[in-house]
Amino acid sequence: MRAKPGNWLGERLDLSAVRELISHKTVPVHSATRWYYFGGITLFLFAIQVITGILLMLYYRPTVNEAFESVRFIMTRVEYGWLIRSIHSWSANLLIFVAFVHMFSVVFTHAYRKPRELTWLTGIALLGLMLFFGFSGYLLPWNQISYFATKVGTDVAASTPLIGPAVGRFLRGGEDVGGATLTRFFDFHVIILPLTAMALVGIHILLVQQHGMSTPPWIAPSGVRQMRFFPNFFLRELMVWYCALAALGALAAIFPWELGEKADPFASAPRGIRPEWYFLAQFYTLKLIPSHVWIFEGEILGILGFGLLAASWAVLPFWGADSAGNARTRLVTGAGVVMVSYLAAFTVLGYLK
Amino acid sequence: MRPHDCPCSRAGEFGGAGGGSGMPPGMPPDQNRRSLLSWLLGGGVAASLASFFYPVVRFLNPPYLSEAPVDEVSGGKVDDLKPNSGKIIKFGNKPALLVRVSETEWKAFTAVCTHLNCTVQYQDSTRLIWCACHNGMYDMSGRVVSGPPPKPLDEFAVRVRGDEVVISRRT
């Protein structure tokens, strides 16, 4: 046995911990098992983003004079360039959607409770990173819509009380959205965010391995059937990934992502300007808040409200369960339903109006 | 802790034809069907993977940029270049070397050294064309005088039109 070539690596690299994990990892089988797939789909789409992003970088140029032209070059001259870019854009959107589904599945199955608070916190940080990925990537083609969306987006950040102006300047690399913003956003999008995201994904997955899969509180953990992760669950997950890839390919081919018109800083904002769908709920809320509420500016009030809401959502494990790890199921489920309803309704309203 | 058993994915079944340990002996038709299914599954996976990677491989290949071929460029005004001097001008997307040998004699060559693609220059002290990278020397007909270049420089035709110098491909 020792002479087998397959053992060559094993004699030099101790993989027993990995082998142990693979052979013992199980997944509980119950009515909510299907929700376990969403974390994996998010990871898969993230991998798609990394691969297609690396490919796009072969031709993309992050300067005001060349950004738009280089994306147009990718889409019109590079073989399958339209497909790679379209997949990158579609996958970004699906990734954020699936990450939201994953997050709400954790809320409704109460998987955030002790000892999984850190898993939740890293997940929330990852969701924030994904939104920032979307925001920074949106500007890179340097078209009219993305230019104005970035003006508005960085202005929202800049109107945060106290720290706002500094944050705005930092994001834009100056007073206005311009070439400096483009190189900054490129740096965020391809260096800072990916490095941070990879580290966080690593920690997130490590924590999931340490704790194992959570079972909802209404299912007694002792009586639950278990499915082996390798190969049973993994092969199912693989099939789901295949379907996700098929959906992605179909969307990218049937509805190729538009490029629009090149950004012109001296043109008026185009009609119907709005951010990506995942910022629509906030966008629409800001539209509804009157310009002044009592002595406060409406916009600042809205931004503070979002900040407060996001912060309390991020610490959900600490108010959503007692210190022994028993979930306050009614409270959290209620909050989750309100949150999903608000996001869904305001996203649709923001899209229609 | 019993492994989840579902007829669609028993642990052994996904392993393909090799994973027949749980099979009753003496049932060749089943074995055939299993190996056929494995082939179909493996072939399908391989074909779909190939279809994913084909666009990626094609994407990696940079498109050929066809620039409109340039036949003639301006080398500037006659008075801009003193006798026994040269300058680099753009000829299409490649550099060219324009040399004013004397008051009336002009020469132009492709400025790309035939050795390793460096850009050559005119050396007024030796009245030769010199490549600084590996010390290649060409004479004023483009022929290699010394150094490593394997081939002479291509020469262009030069005409003076009014006060303008015009360089064109030799026909």
Nearest chain B alpha carbon to A243: B48
pLDDT of the residue at A4: 64
In a domain, A4, yes or no: no
Question: What share of chain B has pLDDT > 90, as a percent?
Answer: 62
In chain A, which residues have their Cβ closer than 8 Å to the Cβ of B6? 232
pLDDT digits (tens, 9 = 90+) for B57-105: 999 988 887 666 788 999 999 999 999 999 999 998 889 999 999 999 9
CA atoms lying within 13 Å on the CB side of residue A284: 18
In chain B, which residues have their Cβ closer than 8 Å to the Cβ of A245? 52
pLDDT of the residue at B1: 41
pLDDT of the residue at A271: 75
Tell me the count of A-B CB pairs closer than 8 A. Answer: 52
In a domain, A315, yes or no: no
pLDDT digits (tens, 9 = 90+) for A3-12: 566 688 888 8
Q: In angstroms, rounded to a whole number, what is the distance separating the alpha carbons of residues A142 and A144?
A: 7
In a domain, A325, yes or no: no
Whether residues A79 and B58 touch (CB distance < 8 A) is answered with yes
In a domain, A324, yes or no: no
> Per-residue pLDDT for B14 more than 70?
no
Q: State the DSSP H helix or E strand holding residue B39, giving kind and residue range, or none if neither.
A: helix B28-60
pLDDT of the residue at B6: 45
Helices (H), A140-290: 144-158, 164-172, 179-187, 193-211, 234-254, 280-288
- State the distance between the two ends of chain A, measured CA to CA, in whole angstroms: 70
Q: In angstroms, rounded to a whole number, what is the distance separating the alpha carbons of residues B56 and B70?
A: 34
Question: Quick one: CA torsion of A116, A121, A124, A129, rounded to 10 degrees?
Answer: -130
Question: Quick one: CA torsion of A112, A113, A117, A119, rounded to 10 degrees?
Answer: -40
Token output for A209:
């391995």
Give residues with Cβ within 8 angstroms of A228, minimum separation 6: A25, A26, A27, B3, B4, B11
Predicted confidence band of residue A52 (pLDDT cuts 50, 70, 90)? very high
Which contacts qualify for A221-227: CB closer than 8 Å, 24 or more apart? A221/A28, A224/A28, A224/A29, A224/A30, A225/A28, A225/A29, A225/A30, A225/B2, A225/B4, A226/A26, A226/A27, A226/A28, A226/A29, A226/B1, A226/B2, A226/B3, A226/B4, A227/A26, A227/A27, A227/A28, A227/A29, A227/A33, A227/B3, A227/B4
Q: In angstroms, rounded to a whole number, what is the distance separating the alpha carbons of residues A113 and A121?
A: 11
- Provide the edge-to-edge strand list for the sheet that holds B72-77: B72-77, B164-168, B155-161, B106-110, B94-100, B85-91
Q: State the DSSP H helix or E strand holding residue A298, giving kind and residue range, or none if neither.
A: helix A298-314
A interface mutation test: which of B4, B56, B57, B64 has the most A CBs within 10 A?
B4
Q: Kindly state the average pLDDT of the residues B148-165.
A: 94
CA angle, A108 as apex, A105 and A111 as ends, to 5°?
Answer: 75
In a domain, A199, yes or no: yes
Q: In angstroms, rounded to a whole number, what is the distance separating the alpha carbons of residues A186 and A60?
A: 10
pLDDT digits (tens, 9 = 90+) for B31-64: 889 999 999 999 999 999 999 899 999 999 888 8
Q: Whose CA is closest to A224, among B1, B17, B134?
A: B1
Q: Which of residues 9-68 of A touch B (CB under 8 A)?
A: 26, 29, 51, 55, 58-59
Q: Report chain B's mean pLDDT, rounded to a whole number.
A: 84
Question: What share of chain A has pLDDT > 90, as a percent?
Answer: 69
Question: The domain containing residue A73 runs over which residues?
Answer: 23-266
In a domain, A178, yes or no: yes
A233: burial class by Cβ within 10 Å (0-12, 13-18, 19+)? Answer: buried
Q: In angstroms, rounded to a whole number, what is the distance separating the alpha carbons of residues A218 and B107?
A: 91
pLDDT digits (tens, 9 = 90+) for A7-36: 888 888 888 888 888 888 899 999 899 999
A174: burial class by Cβ within 10 Å (0-12, 13-18, 19+)? Answer: middle
Q: Kindly state the average pLDDT of the residues B118-135.
A: 93
> Per-residue pLDDT for A68 more than 80?
yes
Q: Nearest C-alpha of chain B: how many angstroms from A215? A: 15
Residue type, A238: L
CB-CB: which of A77, A228, A242 is closest to B11? A228
Q: Kindly state the average pLDDT of the residues A171-178.
A: 91
> Per-residue pLDDT for B12 more than 50?
no
> Per-residue pLDDT for B138 more than 50?
yes
CB-CB: which of A79, A83, A236 is closest to B63? A79
Where is average pLDDT lowest: A141-155, A188-202, A280-294?
A280-294
Whether residues A242 and B48 touch (CB distance < 8 A) is answered with yes
In a domain, A296, yes or no: no
* Domain count for chain A: 1
Residue A182 touches chain B, beta carbons under 8 Å:
no
Q: Cα–chain-centroid distance for residue A255?
A: 22
pLDDT of the residue at A353: 78
pLDDT of the residue at A236: 95
B interface mutation test: which of A27, A78, A87, A234 has the most B CBs within 10 A?
A78
CB-CB: which of B2, B9, B56 is closest to A235? B9
Whether residues B59 and A84 touch (CB distance < 8 A) is answered with yes
Nearest chain A alpha carbon to B41: A239
CB-CB: which of B14, B55, B63 is closest to A84? B55
CB contact at 8 A, A94 and A45: yes
Question: What share of chain A has pLDDT > 70, as a percent?
Answer: 98
pLDDT digits (tens, 9 = 90+) for A225-234: 999 998 999 9
Predicted confidence band of residue B24 (pLDDT cuts 50, 70, 90)? low
Predicted confidence band of residue B19 (pLDDT cuts 50, 70, 90)? very low
Whether residues B4 and A55 touch (CB distance < 8 A) is answered with no
What CATH number corresponds to the domain at position A209? 1.20.810.10
In a domain, A245, yes or no: yes
Token output for A292:
């002044």
CB-CB: which of A79, A225, A232 is closest to B59? A79
Predicted confidence band of residue B3 (pLDDT cuts 50, 70, 90)? very low
pLDDT digits (tens, 9 = 90+) for A89-101: 999 999 999 999 9
pLDDT of the residue at A82: 96
